[in-house]
Amino acid sequence: MYIGPYALANTLFVAPMAGVTDRPFRQLCKRLGAGYAVSEMVTARPDLWHTLKTSRRANHVGESGPIAVQIAGTDAQMMADAARFNIDRGAQIIDINMGCPAKKVCDKWAGSALMRDERLALEIVSAVVAACATRAVPVTLKMRTGWSQSEKNARSLARAAQDAGVQMITIHGRSRDQGYRGFAEYDTIAAVKSDLHIPVVANGDIDSPQKALQVLRHTGADALMIGRAAQGNPWIFREVAHFLAHGTLLAPPLLSEVRNVLLAHLQDHYALYGDVTGVRTARKHLAWYVRGLPGAESFRQHMNGLQDVQAQMGAVTQYVDDLNLAMDRLPARDCETRGVLETMRE
């Protein structure tokens, strides 16, 4: 699969998630089987471009290409300027955010709120495509099924975006008013796929290899994008890739690999954020990694009290080593931890 001139390693993508898909996490997911990853959204407001938060989000040092950056805003000229700003800092693909349902984003009529104003949405698309065309940079678009379940306009907006020069569209199978509640629906994605000749990517509730195959068959999508299911489980990409290629499930990762991945992720995280902020912001990742494992709650409470890099890494090492005394692999995500532990002990 290609986006513009860029050949992708495979058709499994990491979704852009604010506060999650920073450079260390994107690199980790790529190492574990993702073929493509999109950055956290970068604001179109120029007064915020030189903040520490934006500078971290625009940091792609050592990241394998293609480098895709998502931008968010409500003004066409500012979005075009934001595209150029990020291209100057290494972006090879620009993604327009019309999918974020967060209240603080939608209250400013950015993210998925733009779907309620198709005129403005297409004005933004046209301005960004024109700005990127001068640099030969492809533009993609991420959206939802619509503003609300009674106002599903993904088909009309997707057709117009394709006509305006967008080269790939990702659709999360929920409307904005759903947030992340309920279940994603895939009929709208299938309908958009049938309308377009550019690649269409399915997103929403893809949390296992079996579900990945189901969504592919239902939608006919060209690729899959995985978000929340990768939090604490970056191995999901290689598991899905293996299942789609061979029809069999990979065993969960060995705890020795989990230990190495966790420690490497922490080191990359500290390198980007520094020791003080790095220790604090790593806590959510660690909580996701241990979710559902024995002693996870005690570990999380202990972790939240640690303020030092070495103490945090030492606690992680000790926790995983203690698990290793009872089991040699992570339990399968769709099994009860207690049952898996008992089986392994037998």
How much helix, strand and coil, in percent to the nearest 5, is found in the chain?
Answer: 50, 15, 35
Q: Which residues are catalytic?
A: 100
- Find the mean pLDDT for residues 7-36: 96
Task: Identify the structural domains of the chain with CATH numbers, from first to last.
Answer: 2-246 (3.20.20.70), 255-324 (1.10.1200.80)
| 81-85, 252-256, 283-287, 313-317: least confidently modelled range | 252-256
Q: What is the mean pLDDT of residues 245-271?
A: 94
| φ/ψ of residue 132, rounded to 5 | -80, -25
Cβ atoms of residues 101 and 179 within 8 Å:
yes
Residues in a beta bridge with 171: 143, 202
The predicted pLDDT at position 337 comes to 37
Is residue 192 scored above 90 in pLDDT?
yes
The encoded tokens of residue 153 equal 């306009």
Whole-number pLDDT of residue 331: 79
Q: Is the pLDDT of residue 340 over 60?
A: no
Please give the pLDDT value at position 335: 45
Q: What is the pLDDT of residue 338?
A: 37
Instruction: Determine the Cα–Cα distance for residues 37 and 23; give it in Å rounded to an integer.
Output: 10
DSSP state of 224: E
CB distance 147 to 115 below 8 Å: yes
Lowest-pLDDT range of 112-116, 135-139, 214-218, 254-258: 112-116
pLDDT in the model for residue 213:
98
Strands 2-3 vs 12-14: parallel, antiparallel or unpaired: unpaired
Helix, strand, or coil (residue 110): coil
Q: Is 261 helix (H, G, I), strand (E, B) or coil?
A: helix
pTM (2 d.p.): 0.90
CB neighbour class for 5 (10 Å; exposed up to 12, middle 13-18, buried from 19): exposed
The pLDDT assigned to 332 comes to 73
How many other C-beta atoms are found inside a 10 Å radius of the C-beta of residue 320? 21
DSSP 8-state class, residue 254: B
pLDDT for residue 148: 78
Model confidence at 99: pLDDT above 80: no
